[in-house]
Amino acid sequence: MAILIQNAEVVSATETKRTNVRVEHEKIAAVGEDVVAESGDEIVDGSDQLLIPGGVDPHVHMALPFMGTVSIDDFESGTIAGIMGGTTSLIDFAIPAKGESLLETLDVWYEKSAGKAAHDYTFHMAVVDWDERIAEEIPKVVSDHGITSFKIFMAYKGVFDVNDEQIFHILEATKAAGGFVNVHAVNGDIQLMLADRFAEQGNTDTRYHALAQPPRAEGEATGRVIDLGAIVEQQVYIVHVTCEPAVERIAAARARGEPVWGETCPQYLLLDDSLYDLPDFEGAKYVLSPPLRKKKDQDVLWRALADNEISVMGTDHCAFTFSEQKQMGRDDFRLIPNGFMGLQERLPLLYTHGVTKGRISANRWVELCSTNPAKIFGLYPRKGTIEVGSDADLVLWDPAATDTISAETHFSRCDYNVYEGFETMGGPTKVWVRGELAASEGEFVGTVGRGEFVKRPPR
């Protein structure tokens, strides 16, 4: 059956226009003021609402084996949470252990996502080592699997990290294969050394997690990988940017015309490092890497979002329960599983604190949360836009809706929410996933397993 959504303000990255959108067979079939219902169409009235392309979250970790446990949201609960917040595509990270094959790792990720996702998805391929087999596998990851983005970690020393020489090889190999690189940029040597030094001094509580990753250690690594990328003439995307020194490096590279992008996440705009001082181990709820920073860094990030120095809003959704998983590090911050939620909260938080407070326009909100990630990661124009032929991943957004974020009502499996009690303005009233209604008035009505793996073309 076809659907006509009429009278909504259709918000794209570049304009806002009252128009009608007709959906047929999973795709957008027509867009225009003169588009009218055909016989048998379901008509949806979008008066007083915005219609936006579904959010694309380029940075999530579903059921990630990490730090001795597995992140609590999988492709089922994570995609449902995303849909309930207006997100309809995600990019997870297939991460091997050192010494493991990339292609075998992909098989593990195909298996754990199969039949579970309620919306479409794809993977970044993490490279945590460098050897002959990896060199042979990288072109196959692109050509056979349609995975064009490769993730490297400069941090998590001894677990996921790669050194400068390995980074250089990975930049060259991914470029030759038609892919590019996204980077967790923090100086892993300094982080490990400081963390161990704090622990040896008996400083094991959560605030030392943040002190072991100073902003300059993030800025240094960001600048270093940007420079390595420039030598190889390879594109570089910096994930979860948190602080002024990193923004400065990205902004300088972009001003030089280099193909560099930065991503930040809601937590770095809205939460700060004073939370690590909470009593009773409550600070562990906020432990992630890089850590939360100072209020002054938040101001820098908001400005960088508005000025196009930072191009994408991700989440780094990687949630662990407080009652069990975070307790692993009760006596030693180095053992607290790193990460927390954001999939459901991303669009409402950025709308509330960005759009309604006048920091960014509604168009920029769409660009940051949907269009830019779709473009940068090769999902555009299938995703990230409302155009004839695009997937009908659509969100009807009520700008006047209000809500209060709570673990009592969120769709993540996590037993707490870092944004507990945060009030939001604006939220999705209806969400369609490839033309099928998936959320309506706060209820999930979609289909687990509807989500498909999306292959992406080489760059």
Binding residues for Zn ion (CB under 5 A): 184, 316
Task: State yes or no: residue 181 binds ligand URP (CB under 6 A).
Answer: no
Of the pair 113, 289, the CB lying nearest ligand URP is at: 289
Q: How far is the CB of 316 from ligand URP (least distance, A)?
A: 5
HEC profile of the chain: CCEEEEEEEEECCCCEEEEEEEEECCEEEEEECCCCCCCCCEEEECCCCEEEECEEEEEECCCCEECCEECCCCHHHHHHHHHHCCEEEEEEEECCCCCCCHHHHHHHHHHHHCCCCCCEEEEEEECCCCCHHHHHHHHHHHHHHCCCEEEEECCCCCCCECCHHHHHHHHHHHHHHCCEEEEECCCHHHHHHHHHHHHHCCCCCCHHHHHCCCHHHHHHHHHHHHHHHHHHCCCEEECCCCCHHHHHHHHHHHHCCCCEEEEECHHHHHCCHHHHHCCCCHHHHHCCCCCCCCHHHHHHHHHHHHCCCCCEECCCECCCCCCCCHHHHCCCHHHCCCCECCCCCHHHHHHHHHHCCCCCCHHHHHHHHHHHHHHHCCCCCCCCCCCCCCECCEEEEEEEEEEECCCCCCCCCCCCCCCCCCEEEEEEEEEEECCEEEEECCEECCCCCCCCECCCCCC
Of the pair 160, 380, the CB lying nearest ligand URP is at: 160
Task: State yes or no: residue 188 binds ligand URP (CB under 6 A).
Answer: no
Task: State yes or no: residue 225 binds ligand URP (CB under 6 A).
Answer: no
Of the pair 44, 336, the CB lying nearest ligand URP is at: 336
Of the pair 96, 339, the CB lying nearest ligand URP is at: 339
Task: State yes or no: residue 319 binds ligand URP (CB under 6 A).
Answer: no
Task: State yes or no: residue 339 binds ligand URP (CB under 6 A).
Answer: yes
Task: State yes or no: residue 316 binds ligand URP (CB under 6 A).
Answer: yes
Reading the block at residue 435, the tokens are 């033309």
What Cα–Cα distance (Å) separates residue 248 from each residue in 154, 219, 259, 308? Answer: 19, 8, 15, 12
Q: How far is the CB of 382 from ligand URP (least distance, A)?
A: 26
Task: State yes or no: residue 183 binds ligand URP (CB under 6 A).
Answer: no
Q: How far is the CB of 75 from ligand URP (least distance, A)?
A: 16
Task: State yes or no: residue 289 binds ligand URP (CB under 6 A).
Answer: yes
Task: State yes or no: residue 3 binds ligand URP (CB under 6 A).
Answer: no
Task: State yes or no: residue 264 binds ligand URP (CB under 6 A).
Answer: no
Task: State yes or no: residue 266 binds ligand URP (CB under 6 A).
Answer: no
Task: State yes or no: residue 269 binds ligand URP (CB under 6 A).
Answer: no
Task: State yes or no: residue 187 binds ligand URP (CB under 6 A).
Answer: no
Number of residues located near ligand URP, criterion CB under 6 A: 8
Of the pair 157, 184, the CB lying nearest Zn ion is at: 184
Residue 338 interacting entry, from ligand URP, Zn ion, none, C-beta within 5 to 8 Å by type: ligand URP
Q: Contact letters (x/-) for ligand URP, 238-257, by CB under 6 A?
A: --------------------
Task: State yes or no: residue 378 binds ligand URP (CB under 6 A).
Answer: no
Chain position whose Cβ is nearest to ligand URP: 338
Check if the beta carbon of residue 257 is closer than 8 Å to that of residue 176. no
Reading the block at residue 223, the tokens are 């600048």
Task: State yes or no: residue 195 binds ligand URP (CB under 6 A).
Answer: no
Task: State yes or no: residue 116 binds ligand URP (CB under 6 A).
Answer: no
Amino acid identity of residue 133, one-letter, is R
Task: State yes or no: residue 88 binds ligand URP (CB under 6 A).
Answer: no
Q: How far is the CB of 328 from ligand URP (least distance, A)?
A: 14
Residue 288 interacting entry, from ligand URP, Zn ion, none, C-beta within 5 to 8 Å by type: ligand URP
Check if the beta carbon of residue 374 is closer than 8 Å to that of residue 391. no
Residue 76 interacting entry, from Zn ion, ligand URP, none, C-beta within 5 to 8 Å by type: none
What is the Cα 282 distance to its own chain's centre?
A: 25
**DSSP character string of 91-113:** EEEE-PPTT--HHHHHHHHHHHH
Helix extents (H) in 160-243: 164-177, 188-200, 207-211, 215-232
Residue 339 interacting entry, from ligand URP, Zn ion, none, C-beta within 5 to 8 Å by type: ligand URP
Task: State yes or no: residue 318 binds ligand URP (CB under 6 A).
Answer: yes
Of the pair 342, 354, the CB lying nearest ligand URP is at: 342
Q: Contact letters (x/-) for ligand URP, 35-74, by CB under 6 A?
A: --------------------------x-------------
Pick from 184, 249, 383, 430 the residue near ligand URP by CB under 6 A: 184
Q: How far is the CB of 247 from Zn ion (least distance, A)?
A: 17
Pick from 174, 191, 338, 424 the residue near ligand URP by CB under 6 A: 338
Calpha distance 23→400 (Å, rounded): 25
* DSSP state for residue 367 in the 8-state scheme: I
Residues that bind ligand URP (CB under 6 A): 61, 184, 288-289, 316, 318, 338-339
